[in-house]
Structure 1
Amino acid sequence: MHAHSLFSHDTPCIRIEAGGSSALVSLHGAQVLSWTPADGRQRLFLSERATFDGRAAIRGGIPVIFPQFGERGPLRKHGFARIRTWTFAGIENDEAVFTLAGDGSDGEWPHPFIARLRIALSATRLTVTLAIENTGDAPFIFTAALHTYLRVDNIAGVAIEGLQGCDYEDSAGGGTLHREHNYEVTFDAETDRIYNDVVAPLALIDGEHRLDIEQDGFGDAVIWNPGERLCARIGDLALDDWQHFVCIEAGQVLQPVVLEPGETWSGMQVLAA
């Protein structure tokens, strides 16, 4: 694996290359902005209207959600990890490692911690692992996710396999609970669901293309597409962007993690082209 620093979108980034595959990671949020496997087809969606001012969240790629998912708690939506500057710690065991640490003096999050994001590449796979270590002397509670935006040709031809039999919370429908009876999840309106106890591999079917998705450590899978009406109200998306991405997020949302002093939690998502 090779890595080098550069500026892209006017922001400091690290480009990682291995096996004919490449990924671009912004130090702002340790956010994977692009992933092109050896076949040359970009698999991640990044909005052309994304903000790169070093303060706002970047719309697209793989935002790191920590220590709070969404508005499920007192912190800012989706926490602070995606808007902080991370440190590139180099290559360890053929993984690019990014770190974010807090000493407990932060008024927003008064708990000492180290977050580590590890990124591994091969010709056909992208593996992203988020690890949270409690470096303090008291337990803390958090939720987390990898908020992965996947590029698709047209949402009308998209289906997600592997969620049949899972219970889900319908966030777009007022938080009601349901069970998924369909073999394929398809999209014809705003979709925002948190699927629980996801163990089977998932597959994103995009016309003639397929992306296999696995996760470990994360108990939930969040499926999101804003649909036409919500997309029109999101300033950093173009009007038709909803047709060109779907989020399949590996999350630990419905069952928050209680992390004891000295303990480390980790969750992983694997994308395979």
Structure 2
Amino acid sequence: MPSPFTPLPLERAGARAAVLPYGAHVTAWSTADGEQLYLSPRTAYEEGSAIRGGVPVVFPQFSDRGPLPKHGFARTRAWDVLAHAADAVTLALRDDAATRALWPHPFRAELRVVLSDDTLAVTLAVENPGADAIAFTAALHTYLRVADVADVAVEGLRGVRYQDNTARGAERLDDADAVRFDGEVDRVYLDVPNEVTVREPGRARVVRAEGFRDVVVWNPGAERARGIADLEPDGWRRFVCVEAGAVVQPVTLDAGARWTGTQRIAVAPAR
């Protein structure tokens, strides 16, 4: 049986990506504009350990907002490969004795990754095959590679309320033209209505979401990064996490129901 850490390659029109069955984890995505995702060289490729970077799948719990391990268990489980084409892959995860010991609910999750020349589309779908309703939170915890976080502006969030996790979840209204990074930033934006643009000198990426109501923006900053063992020195300067999520209001699925959320990241012309 192949190792869950063996990458599944994707390629289309000069763009490339790699997806691991372990965690259904996108670990690389490059276009003509270069590598788009950050992956820490110190990440541990071991069962039971999360991968630092790329696009971790957060399910069925976001962060420590509940009794489960941080960010749930999907990112540290081997998923089944259902289909693998040149430019797309679909993986699945079902409940078993180990997941039910943590979260006592039947479920079926699918992750589909589709590559085009300038866009990476990632869709998470969750089905409830059980007899009772289930509720969960989820996110696609994307680490976008940047040259220097000090030069990054995240646009499109002005006028949106957010929970500031550096201030014990205090709710604020963002009245700035862009989110900039001078120290730790850890925010959950609620009911984001529009696309979000991550802009830096010479490059821009546009993040669009469907089905996900929230957007998380995170960078640990220098002080907190010193306590992250699997992050290289100054690695915090090389990424910004901008992630589509269903965080503040859990998704509730009745028996037999299905939910789908999609995040599309497109390389856009720089201004």
Q: TM-score, normalised by structure 2?
A: 0.94
Shift of 1:12: 1.8
- Closer, same or farther: CA 242–76 of 1 in aligned 2, 3 Å: same
Partner of 1:226: 220
The yes-or-no answer on 1:22 pairing with 2:19 is no
- Which amino acid is 1:232 matched to? R
Is the Cα–Cα contact under 8 Å of residues 104 and 112 in structure 1 kept in the other structure? no
Which of these residues, 29, 38, 41, is aligned with residue 35 of structure 1? Answer: 29
- Which amino acid is 1:61 matched to? G
- Which amino acid is 1:11 matched to? F
The yes-or-no answer on 1:150 pairing with 2:135 is no
The yes-or-no answer on 1:140 pairing with 2:130 is no
Q: Cα deviations across residues 25-52 of structure 1 (Å, max 9, x unaligned)?
A: 1111000000012x05000000011010
SS in structure 2 of the partner of residue 172 of structure 1: helix
18-27 or 161-170, which moves further after superposition?
Answer: 18-27
The yes-or-no answer on 1:122 pairing with 2:116 is yes
SS in structure 2 of the partner of residue 150 of structure 1: strand
In structure 2, C-alpha distance between the alignment counterparts of 1:238 and 1:73, rounded to whole Å: 29
Partner of 1:70: 63
* Percent identity over paired residues: 43
In structure 2, C-alpha distance between the alignment counterparts of 1:131 and 1:41, rounded to whole Å: 29
Partner of 1:98: 91
In structure 1, C-alpha distance between the alignment counterparts of 2:129 and 2:17, rounded to whole Å: 30
In structure 1, C-alpha distance between the alignment counterparts of 2:114 and 2:239, rounded to whole Å: 23
The yes-or-no answer on 1:251 pairing with 2:245 is yes
Is the Cα–Cα contact under 8 Å of residues 21 and 121 in structure 1 kept in the other structure? yes
Is the Cα–Cα contact under 8 Å of residues 166 and 180 in structure 1 kept in the other structure? yes
- Which amino acid is 2:101 matched to? G
Shift of 1:54: 2.1
- Which amino acid is 1:198 matched to? V
In structure 2, C-alpha distance between the alignment counterparts of 1:47 and 1:135, rounded to whole Å: 37
SS in structure 2 of the partner of residue 62 of structure 1: coil
Is the Cα–Cα contact under 8 Å of residues 10 and 87 in structure 2 kept in the other structure? no
Over the aligned positions, Cα root-mean-square deviation in angstroms equals 1.8
The yes-or-no answer on 1:189 pairing with 2:189 is no
Is the Cα–Cα contact under 8 Å of residues 211 and 272 in structure 1 kept in the other structure? yes
The yes-or-no answer on 1:80 pairing with 2:73 is yes
Partner of 1:239: 233
For structure 2, the residue ranges without an aligned partner over 5 or more in a row are: none
Partner of 2:210: 216
- Closer, same or farther: CA 6–214 of 1 in aligned 2, 3 Å: farther
In structure 2, C-alpha distance between the alignment counterparts of 1:89 and 1:250, rounded to whole Å: 24
For structure 1, the residue ranges without an aligned partner over 5 or more in a row are: none
- Greater strand fraction, Structure 1 or Structure 2: 1
In structure 2, C-alpha distance between the alignment counterparts of 1:36 and 1:182, rounded to whole Å: 31
- Which amino acid is 1:55 matched to? G
Q: TM-score, normalised by structure 1?
A: 0.94
Total equivalences in the alignment: 266
Shift of 1:174: 1.4
The yes-or-no answer on 1:179 pairing with 2:170 is no
